[in-house]
Structure 1
Amino acid sequence: MCYHFIIPIPKTSFFLLLLSIMLFFKPAAFSQEASDVFLVDAKKNILGFKVFSSSIEKITDSKRYDNQPKFINDSQLVFSSEDDTGNVEAILYTWEKDQFTNMTRTPNKSEFSPDLTSCGQYISTVTVEEDSSQRIWLYPINFGEPELLYDDIQPVGYYGWHGETAALFVIGEPNRLVFPYGREDIHTIAQNTGRSIQKRPGTDEVIFLDKNNNIVVDGKTTFELKAFHTQTREITSLGLALGGSEDFCWVDKNNLLMARGKELYLRRVNKGIEWEKVGTFTIPGYGNISRLSISPDTKKIAIVLERLD
């Protein structure tokens, strides 16, 4: 087993279906607006990083919530998808085959923020349970019985993996970002942080937005990017995030992507504070970019666009 203080809990068998039924509770942490997932080609080499906006391809098409994509390898991603009853499941998409597979089928639960664990054996999610609890569950990729992780930490709104440990956004007054070193050592990193929690490649750092001190830049609210060093438990600054934006992902150790409106921006964290526009996506019937993710080989970017109809 890859993880600490996991609690196995029996559950009905999984099936390879795309949709399931009934949702009793919805998570307060998520805004379920109609949206679709798109794929875009990209290229990284010694000359820099380029996004091919004209290559954009829609991979979902419904008037419901298809969102929170995350690449699990160079040919597959997982995302959360809402059916016509309001239930949300974790879906695996293989783009070379244009194939969708349900990783969960849970009539009385909903799964958000799917990701692959470091051992490659589970799809993790924030699961909204029958009693409205929000905790991290692990769903085996072989469709075995699911397992509950960090059973005593909730309600979880978002999370980000750092090796075998998940940094957790715990909903409350105020919200807290915590790092569970062990059952008796749940370290609070910061309060009032952003929803995006990402490991910085090649480092021991967990990156997040500090929303305690608003800064207005060019008329847009801007927050500071902070790095939590898991070995020393120190926090350092990476400068300002993109104004008017919250979600981000790493191209590599030094290049960070964020989106604002219909545009995608890149910042070279090790060279300065300027954000460079690298892509614009004007698609009829769609509005702003709400989420983004990049494949490990940096050849594909998944973006989520809000539906206007």
Structure 2
Amino acid sequence: MKTYATLLVFFLTSTLFSQPNTDVFLFDLNTENATFHLSNFKNISDSGGYDNQPSFIDNATILYAGTRNGQTDIVQYNIKSGSKTWLSSTQGGEYSPLKIPNQNAVSAIRLNPDGKQRLYRYNLKNGTNAVILDTLVVGYHVWLDQNTLISSVLEADYLSLYQSDLKTHKNKKIIAHVGRSLQHIPNSKLISFNSKNANGSSEIKSLNPISGEIKTIAPTLLNMEDMCWLPDGSILMAKEDKLFKLNPKHTSEWMEVASLKSYGIKNLSRLAVSPDGKKLAIVAELNDQELAPKLENIQWIAGNWKGEAFGGQTEENWSEPSGGSMMATFKLIADGKVVFYEIEIIREVENTLVLQLKHFGNDLKGWEEKDQTIDFPLKEITENKVVFEGMTFEKTTTNEMNIYVDIRQENGSVETVKFNYKK
């Protein structure tokens, strides 16, 4: 996923993929009596990779772009049950999903393997999909009704605001140099967007889709553009690990209303609030806090893992920690035959961990000398990653992990080989 094609790569790299390991977090939100209180913190995506762009279908259902097996698809999350339903399985990647008004369908930006980017409709009843706009490279969008669309469209190296009538198939350009945040303004028929100025500043503006009138609402936070509206007409924006609020009816000054540092998240970006204003979805990154070099902190490696590498099938069986070590057996099978085996251990040594292994041929003859082992000293441990010098274990989900191994080539260069494993 990752000419027209050159501009497309620039656009996607700088927007969709600017946060490689984001998650979607959900909070209960209480704004009664002029308060702003968040509670009941939950990671609803909880997977490795890119999870982003949440939107509420209703007070109990969220859509977002989620990653599975290296593929970005549309996810529907049920708040009450905590269940997830994957709504797309195309060869392309889907982004920015939204419910289409008065239809049993959602829309999303699809980036196909050939580099073509278009806005698609996905039927929730039968799973079919079709292009909505075939002449515009839509980056972000919002629905006025089932036949009228406001979108940020890629033109050259910037985004322009367009209004599209799906009945007449007419597209009207409104203004150039806009941002990605398109929002309904509560209790009105207006749409807000971010207008980018030549000096680098940005302003939140309103668009009247009927008259075409544009008005300035307020300046954005410096260098920020992600925002959402609360039911009372206040605007929320995020910066670093903090949330700021502004009510344009009363002030033009942003006020800090919450710090989310204690939740262990950082680099807040996309925001979405439920229709009743009682749930807040936030996209952010988890803080990678370094953990103590103890086997208990890497216990998630234990299990029977299978994958593919070197043109064959691989299998690793890691034991639970016991006696100050974890032990594994590895084998590679190609063309129906074992190519080689490994015995691996991770053990506690002098307040750190070390990974050691020995190779064996398919006849169990050792590759290394009698007392020789290949050792990988520990560099760091975080919640989802164990980094040894030359080998890294990365947990992507509870039942999936990647192992990256540095392998020296005959010419002296080092190639990092990725092993993708599933339990």
How far off is 1:63 after superposition?
2.5
Is 1:146 the counterpart of 2:129? The answer is yes
Which residue is equivalent to 2:82? 98
Please state whether the residue corresponding to 2:36 is helix, strand or coil.
strand
- After TM superposition, the score normalised by the length of structure 1 is 0.82
1:161 aligned to 129, 136, 143, which one?
Answer: 143
For residue 88 of structure 1, the aligned residue among 59, 72, 94 is: 72
Deviations for 1:71-125, whole angstroms, at most 9, x for unmatched residues?
11101101111223x311000011211101001111x111000111111411110
1:30 counterpart residue number = 16
Shift of 1:61: 2.0
TM-superposed deviation, 1:253 = 5.8
Tell me what 1:234 maps to.
213
Partner of 1:204: 189
What amino acid sits opposite 1:97 in the alignment?
Answer: S
* Contact 1:91-1:101 within 8 A present in 2 as well: yes
Residues 109-258 of structure 1: pairs in structure 2 closer than 5 A: 109-153=92-136, 155-164=137-146, 165-173=148-156, 174-181=158-165, 183=168, 185-214=170-199, 222-252=201-231, 254-258=233-237
Structure number with higher relative contact order (C-alpha < 8 Å, ≥ 6 residues apart): 1
Identity value in percent? 29
- Whether 2:57 is the aligned partner of 1:72: answer yes
Structure 2: give runs of 5+ residues left out of the alignment: 289-423
Separation in structure 2 between the aligned mates of residue 209 and residue 126 of structure 1, nearest angstrom? 20
- Classify the secondary structure of the residue corresponding to 2:204: strand
Aligned-pair RMSD on alpha carbons? 2.1
**Structure 1 residues 49 and 114, CA gap change in structure 2 (3 angstroms):** farther
- The answer to whether the 8 Å contact 2:149/2:165 transfers is no
2:142 partner amino acid? G
1:110 and 1:235, CA in 2 relative to 1: closer, same or farther beyond 3 A?
A: same
Q: Which residue number corresponds to residue 19 of structure 1?
A: none
Unaligned runs of 5+ in 1: 1-22, 216-221
SS class of match (1:304): strand
Whole-angstrom distance in 2 between the partners of 1:49 and 1:166 = 34
Q: Is the 8 A contact 2:268 2:283 kept in 1?
A: yes
Shift of the alpha carbon at 1:60? 2.3
Deviation, 1:44, is 3.4
1:202, distance to aligned residue in structure 2 (A)? 2.3
Residue pair 1:37, 1:69 contacting (<8 A) in 2 also: yes
For residues 284 and 62 of structure 1, what CA distance do their matches in structure 2 show?
17
TM normalised by structure 2 equals 0.61
Matched residue, 1:48: 34
Report SS of the residue matched to 1:298. coil
* Local SS of the residue matching 1:72: strand
Cα displacement (A) at 1:65: 0.7
Q: Distance in 1 between matches of 2:28 and 2:165?
A: 38
1:33–1:308: structure 2 CA closer, same or farther, 3 Å change rule?
Answer: farther
In the alignment, what sits opposite 2:319?
Answer: none
- State the shift of 1:243 in Å: 2.2
AA in 1 matched with 2:172 = H
* 1:284 CA displacement: 6.6
Report the residue type matching 2:185 in the other structure: R
Q: What amino acid is the match of 2:31?
A: K
Whether 1:298 and 2:282 are equivalent positions in the alignment is no
Partner of 2:421: none
Distance 1:186 1:113, change over 3 A: same
Does the aligned pair in 2 maintain the 1:290–1:306 contact within 8 Å? no
Superposed displacement of residue 200, structure 1: 1.1
**Larger radius of gyration between Structure 1 and Structure 2:** 2
Residue-pair matches, total: 276
* Contact 1:176–1:191, Cα closer than 8 Å, also in 2: yes
CA shift, 1:62, in A, is 2.4
